[in-house]
Amino acid sequence: MRVVNDVHETAGSAERYRSLGLVANPFATRDERQGASRATLLEMQAESNRLLATVAAAAKTGRASVVWVSKSNEVAGFFHMSAESDAEQRMIVDYSLRMLPCYVQLYMARVGRIRSALNVLAERVATRSFELTLVELVRAIASAPDTSLSEWLPVAGEAWEGFSDAMEKDPIAAVREHFGEYVLQRTPRFEPPPTDIREISLDPEPEELDDSPETDVFTDGAPRAFGGSIPDDALATPDPRIAVRAFLIAHIRAHYSPVIARAIQAYADEGFGQLITELKITAAPRKTFKALMRLATLRFDSVVFVYDGLESWRSVPEELQEKFIAALSEIRVMAGKHGVMVFLAEQDAAPELEDQFGIGQRIEWTFPNLARVDERAGEFDAEAVRWWLECATIPGHRPHRLEDGGWPLLIEAADGDMERFCAIAQQAIERAADKGCETVDEEVARAVALGECATA
């Protein structure tokens, strides 16, 4: 599992550049590499911006979307990995995108063609500040509680009114009061937990019918490695917090998923480390996948499944290829309008997959200016600048042309120096974003060129 801290950026968020039709500032570097010029870094980021802009546009279509990325065989794999990693991290740290990225390698299908996607989705839901997702889930329940449940009786009246008031005043504090803080584990552990026998006993490819249960006596009742009660029977407890929690979990069990209910109980008992495990333990992975999608989209607009490692596709037996393609089609349908599927593959590496999923949005990762800007470091390159702007522009928005608005003034002010141009262009984009402009106009460009704008 690849873990990136869930930091909500503001200064460089995609929302900031919405008026300009950009997904990022194409002249601001997000990484530093020893020996690499600014132009080289921006060329590497351009392909990342293009993927992010394409996915952002696809997510707004209101239907299941597919993006096929063809990785050039003439470019070192390092550059492709850099572009993918940068795009994924932006989806993670920039909450304004409202995307939940799920990175799935082809080899992961060994745990099950559906389970491989389910497991990554479970990990990402649990590690992406889960308490904020839990707030949205609890808020949805609080707006229409199922009063027919037997667990409602102990909380009806004063206990529920107190909880509702707490949710109104400070929902995060209210959720922490009833489910605990968002921590990996509630009690210290001095050794790694043993392998959970329930998880290793799961059928990778179970036969699944409409009435197939997600849980059974074994998956629900087997003891976990570290403490916790499954489930927490609080009908007789005098503590209103535990009674409220018992009702909320009962509601989740009845209206969302017994797996999610069990996992949230484990989260309250032990922390989000156990939550990750519990979300994966299901006898009906398709049902749990759909339930997790429903949970994720309470907080995120889209879930982006990024399939990589397809270079080994030809080594997969033909029969398994057909089954995997069928499973991917299922995942697309189950994810529905909130799902975006991205495939990263070298040219001609997976023709059967490309026939099925290469008909949507297509991107060719070629890094067209890489060699030139590297060889001519410091020299202004209009072709590269146009490309960087184009890659950062969200499809459907008006393109930025170097012949229009304030761009000629910025080019003139740079006097042929690429480093100088990138610095003032970065400032111009930021200033235009501050003003909510649709383009970098002459007023903005003149202010930057004359040094009236603070250095970015």
Can you tell me whether residue 160 is helix, strand or coil?
helix
Residues 164 and 276 in one domain: yes
User: How many domains does one find in the chain?
Assistant: 2
Is-contact 276 122, C-beta < 8 A?
Answer: yes
**CATH, residue 372:** 3.40.50
Residues 164 and 216 in one domain: yes
Residue 67's nearest CA partner among 292, 348, 395 is: 395
Place of tokens 């907080």: 299
Q: With respect to residue 247, please indicate whether it lies within any of the assigned structural domains.
A: yes
Q: With respect to residue 438, please indicate whether it lies within any of the assigned structural domains.
A: no
pLDDT in tens, the chain (456 residues): 333 334 443 456 899 999 999 999 999 998 777 767 899 999 999 999 999 999 999 988 888 899 999 999 999 999 999 999 999 999 999 999 999 999 999 999 989 999 999 999 999 999 999 999 999 999 999 999 999 999 999 999 999 999 999 999 999 999 999 999 999 998 876 666 667 778 878 888 888 888 888 887 777 766 554 444 434 444 445 688 999 999 999 999 999 999 999 999 999 999 999 999 999 999 999 999 999 999 999 999 999 999 999 999 999 999 999 999 999 999 999 999 999 999 999 999 999 999 999 988 999 999 999 999 988 878 999 999 999 999 999 999 999 999 999 999 999 999 999 999 999 999 999 999 999 999 999 999 999 988 744 444
Q: With respect to residue 428, please indicate whether it lies within any of the assigned structural domains.
A: no
Q: With respect to residue 213, please indicate whether it lies within any of the assigned structural domains.
A: yes
Q: With respect to residue 202, please indicate whether it lies within any of the assigned structural domains.
A: yes
Residues 67 and 184 in one domain: no
Residues 99 and 146 in one domain: no
Give the pLDDT confidence score for residue 193 in this predicted structure: 67
Give the pLDDT confidence score for residue 192 in this predicted structure: 67
Alpha-carbon Rg for the chain in angstroms = 25
Q: With respect to residue 424, please indicate whether it lies within any of the assigned structural domains.
A: no
The region that residue 416 occupies, defined by phi over 0 for left and psi between -120 and 50 for alpha, beta otherwise, is: left
Residues 292 and 330 in one domain: no
Residues 291 and 371 in one domain: no
Q: Which of 383, 400, 417 finishes a domain?
A: 400
Q: Which of 280, 300, 320 finishes a domain?
A: 300
Give the pLDDT confidence score for residue 234 in this predicted structure: 42
Residues 242 and 388 in one domain: no
Q: With respect to residue 417, please indicate whether it lies within any of the assigned structural domains.
A: no
Residues 170 and 285 in one domain: yes
Residues 109 and 142 in one domain: no
Residues 153 and 274 in one domain: yes
Q: Which of 268, 300, 332 finishes a domain?
A: 300
Which H, E and C letters describe 246-311, residue by residue? HHHHHHHHHHCCHHHHHHHHHHHHHCHHHHHHHHHCCCCHHHHHHHHHHHHCCCCCEEEEEEECHH
Query: Which residue range is the domain that position 380 belongs to?
Result: 14-118+303-400
Q: Pull the structure tokens for residue 58.
A: 């696809």
Cβ-count burial of 452 within 10 angstroms (0-12 exposed, 13-18 middle, 19+ buried)?
exposed
Residues 232 and 307 in one domain: no
Distance CA 282, CA 151 (A): 24
Q: With respect to residue 124, please indicate whether it lies within any of the assigned structural domains.
A: no
Predicted TM-score (pTM) of this structure: 0.89
Residues 75 and 160 in one domain: no
